[in-house]
Amino acid sequence: MANAFSSDILIQAPDPKSAAAFYVDSLGFEVTGEEENMVSLHGQHINIFIEQGPLLGPVLEVTVDSVEAAKRRLLAKGCIVIKDEPDFPRCYVRDNYGLIYNLISHSRD
């Protein structure tokens, strides 16, 4: 059950550009990428990716061997799926303690 936490934090906001401006102006992040529905920011120790969508709070990115296997293990422990994108593949899961993970895999499930 190998996994790796990255230095990337994902958030969703109705207006990613406005949210990015907040982090740039208030905390000194640098815009490193801008797409239609996402803005990428770089900080000294973390990166923030702001995707257009409803507010979820911070989402930690976790790389796992298999998104589907990790999702099954977490659901069996009482976690809930917040957002599932099997074609990506990625899955947002909230654990019993309120933490949200973006489960991703370098290989296709």
Dihedral, 77, 4, 61, 79 alpha carbons, nearest 10:
0
Average pLDDT over residues 41-68: 91
Count CB-CB contacts under 10 A for residue 59: 22
pLDDT in tens, 11-45: 999 999 999 999 999 999 999 999 999 999 999 89
Number of residues assigned to the chain = 109
pLDDT at 67 over 70: yes
Q: Which two tokens stand for residue 90?
A: 């990625």
pTM, two decimal places: 0.78
